[in-house]
Amino acid sequence: MSTLAAESGNPLLPPLGEIIIGLIAFAVVMLVFFRFIAPRFEQVFRARREAIEGGIERAEAMQAEARAALEQYRAQLAEARTEAAQIRDQARAEGQQILAELRAQAQEESARIVARGEEQLAANRQSVVNELRGQIGALAVDLAGRVVGESLEDDARRRGTVDRFLDQLDGMAPGAPGDGRTGSTVFVPGGDR
Amino acid sequence: MTSSALALAGVLAAESGGDGFEAPSIAEFNPEPIAEFSLLGVDFAITRITLGLWFATLAMLVFMVMTVRRPQIVPGKLQFVGESGYSLVRDGIARDVVGPKGLPFAPFLASLFFFILANNFMAILPLAQISPMSKFAFPLVLAGICWLVYIYIGIREQGAGRYFKDILFLPGVPKPMYVLVTPIEILQNFVVRPFTLAVRLFANMFAGHMLLVVFSLGAVYLFSRDNFSFVFGPVSALMAIVMTFFELLVIFLQAYVFTVLMGTYLNGSIEAEH
């Protein structure tokens, strides 16, 4: 065949054998490229792309996480601040309330103490007045009996009797000064009956 | 330049009588078979070129497999080389030229690119020094496969009716113009595309090889002459070296162009024409 081609001399008329050889050679090349070389290269390209994209994705995820954490901290901080302010306000309000309550209680107490003192004073006075009233009555009767029973001819006697009475009176009143006049003035309220 | 050309012509004229310079012919591309056999009525010949084809193909496959044998996220040197090459096709052509749906075609386009690149490289590999792609059979096979693939993808993506209707009656063209446009479009899509795809690659490698052979054999011939033609020997040898570097560019460029064009054809098949 090759001799035939050589004889024909036309390079554009190839022998069939060469065409078949060419087909086989190219088929082998295609087979290896499709079955082995191309898939391997694609695998490498994919792995590389994934490695790059994976790295970027990981970095982005970490950034997002950090941002979220920061946001959270900020929110928590703000929350804590408002809470502290609330607690402070509440404490202040409570303190004022407590103060007002205490003040009111103290006033009430003092008012009550004063009232009780006054009451007691009044009661004491009443009892003293009652006692005195009884004693004055008895004394008056006693004195009157003495006055009526004795002869009252001379002034000296009369004066002596009265003085004795007043002395008795003075001696009865504890802590009272020895002055007879002062003692007589004490009994002025007795004259209102 | 003219004087040297005249001198060269003089040398050649002087020697034309005897064992003159034998210019490389088309026989260059039909080397003596190492072995021949016939299978099912088809003759096969094992030649320098077919050996080169298998060597280039297997070496390329072994290299590519080695680069991805133990793939790492952070590539080593070897993996980086393989990955750069594969990414050039996958990202630069499958994704950017074919379009958003293009990634599934990356293995096919990479097969094309690396198969052509490796075989083209045989053009300047010492001892081989002829690309299998300068045999029309191999570019033809590739172009034929591409032709089937982009038509099949067009039918699969757009539906047979829609695909052929858009080719026969290009949308947005005034009706009377179809007389002109329809034959051109048919020719373009079903004949010219695969043919140019195959011929472009074949002709580049063919011409490149011819250039290298002419300059190399010329240098050898001029050095072997005993008159003053040895002065032009170094010029020819230098040209052979320069053309080898130029060939290196062509090797890469043609592999890339073939793949990019296939990418644009696939793009046309996937996306409805505007």
B6 pLDDT band, cuts 50/70/90, is low
C-beta of residue B67 within 8 angstroms of C-beta of residue B81:
yes
Give residue A7's Cα distance to chain centre: 118
Beta-carbon separation of A30 and B111 below 8 A: yes
pLDDT at A188: 47
Tell me the pLDDT tens digit for each residue of A160-182: 777 777 788 777 765 544 444 44
The residues pairing with B35 across neighbouring beta strands, listed in sequence order, are: B46
Structure tokens at B250: 């062509």
A22 near B CB under 8 A: yes
Within 10 angstroms of residue A161's Cβ, the number of other Cβ atoms is 16
Residue A83 has pLDDT above 70, yes or no: yes
Q: Nearest Cα to B106, choosing from B96, B119, B93, B116? A: B93
Residue A81 has pLDDT above 50, yes or no: yes
Give residue A113's Cα distance to chain centre: 33
B53 near A CB under 8 A: yes
The pLDDT of B47-61, averaged and rounded, is 87
Which chain B residues in 123-142 lie under 8 Å from chain A, judged by CB atoms?
Answer: 132, 135-138, 140-142
Structure tokens at B255: 């592999």
Q: Which residue has the higher pLDDT, A82 or A20?
A: A82
Tell me the pLDDT tens digit for each residue of A125-154: 999 888 888 788 788 878 877 777 665 556
Give the span between the Cα atoms of A141 and A148, in whole angstroms: 10
**Cβ-based contacts under 8 A for chains A and B:** 124
The pLDDT of B165-187, averaged and rounded, is 82
In angstroms, the Cα distances linking B85 to A22, A37, A69, B68 are: 23, 12, 48, 12
Tell me the pLDDT tens digit for each residue of B104-121: 888 999 999 999 999 999
pLDDT at B27: 72
Give the span between the Cα atoms of B197 and B116, in whole angstroms: 12
Give the span between the Cα atoms of A38 and A32, in whole angstroms: 8
Q: Where are the domains of chain B?
A: 19-270
The residues pairing with B36 across neighbouring beta strands, listed in sequence order, are: B45
pLDDT at A193: 46
Tell me the pLDDT tens digit for each residue of A34-49: 998 888 888 888 888 8
pLDDT at B45: 76
Alpha helices in B90-192 (DSSP H): 106-121, 137-158, 160-168, 178-187
pLDDT at B12: 54
Q: Which residue is associated with the tokens 């004259």?
A: A191
Q: Which of the given ranges, A68-82, A142-156, B134-148, B211-225, has the highest pLDDT on average?
A: A68-82
Amino acid at B160: A
pLDDT at A67: 94
Q: Which residue has the higher pLDDT, A37 or B36?
A: A37
For residue B133, the chain A residue with the least C-alpha distance is A22
A123 pLDDT band, cuts 50/70/90, is very high
The residues pairing with B39 across neighbouring beta strands, listed in sequence order, are: B42
Give the span between the Cα atoms of A12 and B187, in whole angstroms: 19
Q: Nearest Cα to B120, choosing from B218, B194, B200, B223? A: B200
Beta-carbon separation of B65 and A37 below 8 A: yes
Q: Nearest Cα to A36, choosing from B84, B69, B214, B121? A: B69
The residues pairing with B44 across neighbouring beta strands, listed in sequence order, are: B37
pLDDT at B144: 92
pLDDT at A1: 40
Q: Which residue has the higher pLDDT, A155 or A189?
A: A155
The percentage of residues in chain A with a pLDDT greater than 70, rounded to a whole number, is 79
Give the span between the Cα atoms of A120 and B68, in whole angstroms: 118
Q: In this structure, what DSSP letter does residue B38 have?
A: E
From chain B, the residues in CB contact with A38 under 8 A are 86, 106-107, 110
The count of residues in chain B is 274
Find the range with the poorest average confidence among A38-47, A84-93, A158-167, B210-219. Answer: A158-167
Q: Which residue has the higher pLDDT, B123 or A82?
A: A82
The percentage of residues in chain B with a pLDDT greater than 70, rounded to a whole number, is 89
Residue B246 has pLDDT above 60, yes or no: yes
Residue B128 has pLDDT above 80, yes or no: no
Strand, helix or coil for residue B128 = coil
